[in-house]
Amino acid sequence: MAKIGINIATGSLQQAEMIVGIDLGTTNSLVAIIHPETKKPLALKEHNSSCLVPSVVHFDSFGNATVGEEAKKYLETDPANTIFSAKRLMGKSYNDIKQNASFFTYKVIDNDDEKLVKVQVGKQFFSPIDLSSFILKELKARAEHILKTPVTKAVITVPAYFNDAQRQATRDAGKLAGLDVMRIVNEPTAAALAYGLGLDKESEKTIAVYDLGGGTFDISILKITNGIFEVLSTNGDTYLGGDDFDRTIVEYWMNEFGITNDELHQNKELSQGLRLRAEEAKKHLSFNDIFSVEFNGDNLSISKNKFEELIQPLIAKTLDCCNNALKDAKLDVSEIETVVMVGGSTRVPLVKKFVSELFNQPVHDEVNPDEVVALGAAIQADILAGNNKEFLLLDITPLSLGIETMGGLMDVLIARNSKIPTKVGRQYTTQKDGQGSMRISVYQGERDLVKDNRKLAEFNLTGIPGMPAGLPKVEVSFLINADGILVVKAKELRSEVEQSIEVRPQYGLTDEEVEKMLLESITHAKDDIAIRALVEAKTEGEQILEMTEKFLTKNSSIINKDELIATAQAMQNLQLALTMNDKNLIQTKIEELNEITRPFAERAMDAAVSGALKGKTI
C-alpha cells in the first residue's frame, strides 16, 4: 500500500514515498532528500541545528543508547561507554585492527583474532552493525520528524574501497534500523553526482575526488562513461584528517607554555580544553589571518602562517596518496579533467591550494563539503525512485541480461548473479546483403525466448555500409557500474559506425518479481530447450536456403543441370519442412541439402559465403 506523506514545503499531502540519501560517516552522518518542489537536493536539519549528526553512540548505566551531539559530550567524560568511529570496525576482525587498537578508547573484544569484532559496553556486546544501526535509527527518526512522514527506504554511501563484507554489513545495519536499503553507493560517486557529473549521458570524463574528513583521507580516481561510474583506483590514509590538524596546534601551544605529555594526559580538562580551542582556531584560520583566545588566564594564539607551516607535511602526505592513485590508474595528472573536494577539512585554504597546484586546475568546492556526499546519495535515491527518467537503474545481479538474436532467441551477455561493475562485449553480424541497420533489443530474464523475458530497451545501429551478409562485425557491449546503471553500445568495427542506447528507462524489479521470473524459468526449462532447438534449426535452415540461392546465382557456370535439379528439389523440401514445427525434420532436410551442395561448394569455396554461413546473426 502506498504511504501518504506531507510535502515539507507546503504541508500538502503527497502520495509517493520518498527514498532518502544517507551519508553514514566515520565522524558525522546526515540525511538528504530531493526537495519535492524545487527538485534540488537538500540536507535535512531541524530548526537552528546542524544537519550533521556526530557518528557517536553513548550507553548509560542502564544500557540506553543516545546518538549524536548528546553522545559526543561523553567522549571525554565517559570514554569506555562512548563509541565513536564504529565505521572503522565494519566487516573487520580483531586481526585487521590490531595495529590501531590504541585508537579505540572503548573495549574492542580481542579474544578471537579471526572472528568479526564486537564492542563491549558494561555487560553488553555490540557488533559494528548494531552500532551503525543505532546511528541509522537516529537519522531515520530525525528525517521522519522533519518530513512528518514515515521513512523506510534509503540509499547509503560507503567508501569506494569497502569490500563486499563491509558493504553487506552496511546493508544489514540499515535493515536493523528498519530501512530498506535500496542501494549502496560509493561516496566519491555520490560526490560527483552532487556536482552534476555523470548526469549528462553523452559525456566521458576522468575525475579525482579528494576527501579529507575529520579522521580519514581518501582519494578516488573515477572514470564516468555515459553515466557509468568506474572506480579506476583508490588510495588514502585511514588515520589522517582534520583531527591531526588540531593536534599540531595543541602541540604548538604545549611547546609554547611548556606543557608536557604527562601533564596533558593526567589533566583531562586541560587536554579537552586545548583540543576544542585548537579546532576553533583551525576553523577560524580558514577565513582569518590570526586567532587568539583567553584560556585559563593565558592567551592562546596562532597565526595562519604558523598553522600552514605546521600542517604542510600532513597535506604533503595526502598529495603522495594522490600520486599513487594516479599511478595505479595508469594516468598522468594532466588526464584528470575535474577535481571534486569532499570533507570538512577541505575548507582549509592551503589544502585547496596544494590540491589545485597538483592537478593544475581550480578545484570544485562550491557544494558544502560536509553535505556533498549525502546530497549525491539523495540524487541517486531520486533516480531509483524513478523521478529522474534519464537513467536506467537495474537490479541486475539477480537476472541475466542479453539481446535478442535471430528467431527471437535470448543471447545472454551478462549471466545472472554476475558481479558488478562489469563490461562484456560480443560480436554479431548481419543477416542480409547490404543490411544498413541492425536492431539491438535488450532483455532481462532467464528464459530462452525473449518474448518470455522483460524488455529493457531497444535501439537501431544505423549507417552500416553496404556489405555482403556476414561481413560486418558488430560489437555489442554491456557496461554496468557498481550502482547498476546499464549502458549498451553497438559498434560496427570495420566502418567504426557507433551508437549507444537510447534507453527507455523502467524500474528495477521487486524481489517478488525476480523470484517469479526465476521460478518460471525453472518450470519452463524443458519447453524452453525444445523451443530454442526449433528456433535454431529454423534459423539455420533459412540461412542455408538464402546462401544456397546466392551461391547458385554466382556460380552457375560450375554446376551441371542434374546438380541444379537435385539442389532445387532439396531446397523445396527444406522450405516445406520450415513451415512445420518439427526440429528433426528440418535438420534432416538441412543435411540432405548439404549432401547435395557439398561437392560443388568445395569446388568453389567462397570465403565470404562460408564466413557468412558460420557467422552469428541478429
| Minimum CB distance to ligand AMP, residue 250 (Å) | 13
Largest interatomic CA distance in the chain: 118
| Minimum CB distance to ligand AMP, residue 315 (Å) | 12
Beta strands in 180-309 (DSSP E): 180-186, 204-212, 217-225, 228-237, 290-295, 298-303
Annotation marks residue 211 as catalytic: yes
Query: Is the Cβ–Cβ distance between 90 and 129 less than 8 Å?
Result: yes
Query: Is the Cβ–Cβ distance between 437 and 455 less than 8 Å?
Result: no
Query: Is the Cβ–Cβ distance between 459 and 226 less than 8 Å?
Result: no
Query: Cα(552)–Cα(38) distance, rounded to whole angstroms?
Result: 68
**Residue 356 CB neighbours (<10 A):** 16
* Cβ proximity to ligand AMP, 251 vs 279, nearer residue: 279
**Residue 530 CB neighbours (<10 A):** 13
* Cβ proximity to ligand AMP, 227 vs 242, nearer residue: 242
Annotation marks residue 23 as catalytic: yes
| Minimum CB distance to ligand AMP, residue 239 (Å) | 13
| Minimum CB distance to ligand AMP, residue 230 (Å) | 24
* Cβ proximity to ligand AMP, 370 vs 492, nearer residue: 370
Pairing of strands 409-414, 401-405: antiparallel
| Minimum CB distance to ligand AMP, residue 615 (Å) | 56
* Cβ proximity to ligand AMP, 373 vs 509, nearer residue: 373
Query: Is the Cβ–Cβ distance between 538 and 578 less than 8 Å?
Result: yes
* Cβ proximity to ligand AMP, 286 vs 422, nearer residue: 286
Closest Cα partner for 568 from 579, 552, 555, 554?
Answer: 552
- Of the chain, the end-to-end C-alpha distance in Å amounts to 42
Backbone angles phi, psi at 12, to 5 degrees: -80, 160
Let me know if 98 is exposed, middle or buried by CB neighbors in 10 A (0-12, 13-18, 19+): exposed
Query: Cα(528)–Cα(203) distance, rounded to whole angstroms?
Result: 40
| Minimum CB distance to ligand AMP, residue 466 (Å) | 59
| Minimum CB distance to ligand AMP, residue 215 (Å) | 7
Three-state DSSP class for residue 384: helix
* Cβ proximity to ligand AMP, 52 vs 571, nearer residue: 52
Cell of residue 214, nine digits = 575529520
Closest Cα partner for 345 from 285, 275, 274?
Answer: 285
* Cβ proximity to ligand AMP, 374 vs 590, nearer residue: 374
Backbone angles phi, psi at 9, to 5 degrees: -85, -45
Annotation marks residue 113 as catalytic: no
Cell of residue 193, nine digits = 553526482
Instruction: Count the helices and strands in the chain (H runs, E runs).
Output: 17, 28
Q: Give the amino acid at 280.
A: E
| Minimum CB distance to ligand AMP, residue 424 (Å) | 37
Cell of residue 507, nine digits = 524500474
Query: Per the residue annotation, which of 130, 138, 211, 452 is the catalytic one?
Result: 211
Q: Which residues bind ligand AMP (CB under 6 A)?
A: 25, 27-28, 213-214, 241-243, 279, 282-283, 286, 343-345, 347-348, 370
How many residues does the structure list for the chain? 618
**Residue 452 CB neighbours (<10 A):** 19
Query: Per the residue annotation, which of 87, 153, 304, 489 is the catalytic one?
Result: 87
Query: Per the residue annotation, which of 138, 187, 370, 395 is the catalytic one?
Result: 187
Report, as residue numbers or ranges, the catalytic residues.
Answer: 23, 87, 187, 211
